Structures are given as structure tokens and as C-alpha cells.
Amino acid sequence: MVGPRLLGSVFRVGEVAVRLTEVEAYHGQGQDPGSHAHRGPTDRNASMFRQGGTLYVYLSYGIHRCVNIVCGPEGYACGLLLRAGEVVDGAEVARGRRPTARSDVELARGPGRLGSALDIRLDDDGSRLGEGRFSLTLPTSPVGTVVAGPRVGVSGHAGTDAFAWRFSIADDPTVSAYRAAARRVRRPS
């Protein structure tokens, strides 16, 4: 599995670099109801079906720009949501992009905050690692203990709650807090 191997990697977008401390895996079409690619390709998720190393960028809750790294072969949608990290270069720039952060630990703690700290934009969707302003450097030494657990905010999908698809570095202060998904209650019409 790619998720644990990406922990400790340095993801750079222009002037700011983040050491990844938390990621979440999403499987492809028909296999993972929690994935945007579950029902097949659309204009919105087309990047998920591209070759590994492609970035899939989307807007969450209409405000947060989130970024995934596609991890599979072309045509098979799977990727890793970059959930959290530690800013290791360009902290001053990241602070300017995240003025409400109470400390540097909070600069990229959570996928929306990470997207803001790195200045991820919707038009970055479909970009490739190693091209333009994006690079990824894998760790050269072990990152310590890796923790696996359920994804944040994903529930109600038959069987997917049981899978440990969220990976993080144990006891790292930049890892986001786990929040179980709120179950939707359907009201009679």
C-alpha cells in the first residue's frame, strides 16, 4: 500500500514545503463508495482516472481546496488525500496564507488548511508531480510508528467504515483530530 510509504515525504508547492504526516486512501470506481470516483469518470473527478503522479484537486464544503495524489495506473481511479503535514520550508509565506492559525503546528493540520498553506488552487487539478511548481521527495529514513485507522468523516457506506485507510505518524502534533462521520437521518417526505 502506498499510503504509509508517503508519510514523511516532502510535498513542495512553489515556496512552501510540507512534510506529510497524515494521508487517506481512496479506491477506484465501484469499489469505494466514499471516493469521488465511485460512480465512474465525470468532469469533476477525471484527474482521478489519470496516471499515478497526477494531482486531483477539488473543493470540499464549497470552501476548502483539497489535494489528492493519484496512485494507480491510468484508467483505475485510486489516490491519497493529503490530510496533514508540518511546514518545513516557507513557514512565513504559509503563515501569511493561514493568518488564523494559532501556531505553526496548525498551519497544515487538516486537508483544507494544508491546501491553503500550500496555495493549492482548483486550476491545479490535473497537474503532475515533478512539473511546474509541484514536487514530492520521498523520505530517506523511517518515519517512526505508523498508525492506521478509519477515514475522517466517511461512514454509511457498506463495509468501508471497517477499513483502516487513514495513515498517520504516531504522536505527531500536526496530525488532524479524528472525527467520525455524522450519520444522516432521512426525514419522511
CATH code, domain with 137: 3.10.300.10
Please report whether residue 85 resides in a domain.
yes
Please report whether residue 12 resides in a domain.
yes
Please report whether residue 138 resides in a domain.
yes
Please report whether residue 107 resides in a domain.
yes
pLDDT at 32: 65
Question: Given the C-alpha cell 462521520, which residue does it identify?
Answer: 181
Please report whether residue 179 resides in a domain.
no
pLDDT at 43: 76
Domain interval for residue 136: 2-169
Amino acid at 171: D
Whether residue 36 has pLDDT greater than 90: no
Please report whether residue 186 resides in a domain.
no
CB atoms within 10 A of CB 59: 14
Please report whether residue 178 resides in a domain.
no
Contact 41, 49 (CB under 8 A): yes
pLDDT in tens, 114-139: 999 999 999 999 999 999 999 999 99
pLDDT in tens, 171-187: 999 998 876 655 556 66
pLDDT at 76: 78
Q: How many domains does the chain have?
A: 1
Please report whether residue 30 resides in a domain.
yes
pLDDT in tens, 56-74: 898 876 678 999 999 988 8
